[in-house]
Amino acid sequence: MTTTLTPQEIEHYRTQGYILHHKQLFSEEKLNRLTGIFEEHLAEKGSKLSDELDTPHFRDERLLEFLLSDEALNLVEGLIGPDIVLWSSHFICKDPYKGRMTPWHEDSAYWNGRFDKYDSIVTIWLALDRSTKENGCMRVIPGTHINGFSEYEDVDKTFNTFHAQVKNIEEEKAVYFELERGECSLHDSRIIHGAAANPSPYRRCGYTMRYISADTKINPEKNPGWRFWLARGRNLADNPCENV
């Protein structure tokens, strides 16, 4: 099942800030196992909203099988090199009819100060459910990954997953990440992206897997209690990592 990115895909990522990888990342058996773990977390979430299941691998190390897999790391290596640190993961589930909007944002803007650079952070967004415009799939503004720290304005967090959004977005330029179950996208941490709410009867769940190049310096004071794993290669910046 392991695949690598083509030179054309890598060039598209460099210039546009994202890739739509319309291939199955994991085998059906492995994908079903990951989905089963997600369903357990969803059933046990308590008062949390369905889109708030952040860093589940801190609590459930069964997820490391997927996060540290060759299937995922082979894709990431083509974008940030062979020395890779696992940083984060997140189950993001938009419930039918009531899944909240994700306002336009740059991931890097919320991580300011946590690292010494942001040009080698990549997120895999794996579709656990079919992801379409109808149920609020992710969307990006291509080529906006050069800055990473735009001007923001406040929004009502009752209806949004964040409290602010990037100002003056040209939404007509958006590319929608429509994915079948098991397919994935990859995006640069600096690209402007978001998602509409989910007014449909269809759940939209994805698993984000985030990685940084191992020459990126982590600021421990800005990452209290965080766990990092050296996923592949060398720990070039001598970061506080757990070994596989």
Token couple for 195: 């998602």
CB 135 within 8 A of CB 76: no
Q: Rounded distance, CA 241 to CA 34, Å? A: 24
pLDDT at 1: 60
Return per-residue pLDDT of the chain as tens, 244 residues.
678 999 999 999 999 999 999 999 999 999 999 999 999 999 998 888 777 789 999 999 999 999 999 999 999 999 999 999 999 999 999 999 987 889 999 999 999 999 999 999 999 999 999 999 999 999 999 999 998 999 999 888 777 778 789 999 999 999 999 999 999 999 999 999 999 999 999 999 999 999 999 999 999 999 999 999 999 999 999 999 998 7
Q: How far is CA 143 from the centre of its chain?
A: 17
pLDDT at 216: 98
Q: Which residue has the tokens 């085998």?
A: 27
The pTM of the whole model exceeds 0.75: yes
Domains of the chain: residue spans and CATH: 7-243 (2.60.120.620)
Q: Rounded distance, CA 57 to CA 207, Å? A: 11
